[in-house]
A and B are shown apart, each in its own frame.
Chain A
């Protein structure tokens, strides 16, 4: 394996809290990302994903542990590491007082690039982000998806070796998400290393070669999406609803169905090699769900299995 571009070893970040025990946002996580890899941090809000991203982005000092980005220590080589990164933050921080293209121009200068080169690169990137016809528009007039694409274009102005994306499609409508995924996929094909956080399992499945499931600052599992699903779920999942008042009562009667049964407030999940078989068995026992659905397992199931909780709460 080639030398990793990111290596975290026992990484910890804690914040002092007034009159209380300190808050541990990242609690000893370790992982490595290979060059050209697309690596994801999957977890619910508050799992410590963004904090991890900030430490890798060299804008947050770790409390303890080792962190190595492109072979450099972020504590010592902040500007150097950041010169090789592209960052797409969760919160939009484009300059609303400037026009679309101007946002790229000023940002390129931050890397010490000559004006002519930045201008050329800005036009290429507007093309890539499908925003060429919006070059002179106000940022405020762009849709959410366009703003996110502009932020990605901005992050690419310095030809980064690693692109960090924090919740890249949160808040976007389905069509805008697909356009964005398409752009990110192209970058991946060109060999850019992607590191992204998400709480959407479909996003992780679409974009990540490998991922870690993070919860409460700790890594719960690591692997490729398919690998994790194989390891922590069954071949199929049967989802049944008996109505919110009935679910708990029915749950008692179907314990032992499939490999495992999970009772959620609104539905019951039965993990099995054959969802249809389980459903037949249920009906034969005189249980008639209001709705039923047999589907393939997802990372959501993996997360539920690992933590006993939903990803999006």
Chain B
């Protein structure tokens, strides 16, 4: 190539670069929100289901467990038999956190499989100015929004059922959000490793979510369990989230360092899962 043509192409190059940098600048900054926008539009197509479960499940659970089962428990053990409060007050924060876990399990399994494999929209996004990490961010943002709606509605039902004795009970909602996301990003990362679903996602529900819900101090305090089963609670984000919720909802007596451990543990899971999912997405989309 002669010097002259190089000179021309250098000028042209600078011009193209400037135009391209300008065109991509907004996406570099707001790309995650654009992905979230896309997800909200998809969620709108099943908004009725979202609202129905968000309103229906707290009602059903709080009524069945908190009124029905609680009648039995309190009737036999007294009004303050479970960690010093009524069974309803004990149970409600746990059910709140579980509802966040339910949203996480729903939104971070099949929709992820869909985007990578069955209807590979993530590849479509990746062909635009969007980057893989932004796809993951956008998913987290959109699910967090749905989860916040679900948790808020649940909390309102808790108030209606008079299940929140503590003044700072409302903090239980953001704690549930943190719990749901901390667990959710791990599920998302795991799903992102799957080439295809040959039953793994059902296994996650049956052998991870279900035992976690049963053995995380949800329906009875963890120390009721034999010691060799208590570790399930210690590693369970749901247990940490539930205990922290209880501290705010009715002042569950626990040392402050333990409350701190709950927060740090959940934050650490959230960070690990999020980073892991971003890496997996990058590896999978940029082959």
Contact = CB atoms under 8 A, between A and B. Distances in A.
Contact of B23 (A78, A83, A102, A109): A83
B41 A82 contact: no
B131 A95 contact: no
B20 interface: yes
Nearest to A99: B45
B124 A94 contact: yes
A125 to B, nearest CB: 15
A111 B23 CA distance: 7
Interface in A68-87: 70-72, 77-85, 87
Given A54-B287, A71-B12, A110-B31, A80 B127 contact: no
B38 A109 contact: yes
A84 B120 contact: no
Contact of B41 (A94, A102, A154): A102
B59 to A, nearest CB: 28
Given A79-B27, A95-B121, A71 B42 contact: no
B16 interface: yes
Interface residues of B, number: 40
Given A98-B45, A102-B41, A112-B23, A60 B287 contact: yes
Interface in B108-137: 119-121, 123-131
Contacts of B129: 79-80, 82-83, 110-112
A151 to B, nearest CB: 9
A106 to B, nearest CB: 4
Contacts of B25: 112
A61 interface: yes
Given A3-B8, A112-B25, A89 B20 contact: no
Interface residues of A, number: 38
A102 B45 CA distance: 12
B285 interface: yes
Contact of B20 (A60, A77, A102): A77
B72 interface: no
B9 interface: yes
B37 interface: yes
A89 B120 CA distance: 11
A256 to B, nearest CB: 47
Contact of A110 (B19, B42, B128): B128
B34 A61 contact: no
Contacts of B38: 95, 106, 109
Contacts of A98: 41-42, 45
Interface string B5-16: 100110011001
Nearest to B125: A110
Contacts of B8: 3
B23 A84 contact: yes
Given A3-B9, A71-B17, A79 B126 contact: no
B37 A106 contact: yes
B207 interface: no
Contacts of A107: 124, 128
B127 A84 contact: no
A54 B126 CA distance: 11
A96 interface: yes
Contacts of B42: 95, 97-98
Contacts of B34: 106, 109-110, 112
Candidate in A77, A96, A107 with the most chain B CB atoms within 10 angstroms: A107
11 contacts: A3-B5, A3-B13, A15-B287, A54-B287, A82-B128, A83-B20, A83-B129, A84-B19, A95-B121, A106-B37, A110-B130
Given A79-B129, A93-B120, 17 more contacts: A3-B8, A3-B9, A71-B12, A79-B28, A83-B20, A83-B129, A93-B121, A109-B38, A110-B31, A110-B125, A110-B130, A111-B23, A111-B27, A111-B128, A112-B25, A112-B30, A112-B129
5 A-B pairs closest in CB distance? A112-B26, A71-B13, A110-B128, A80-B20, A83-B23
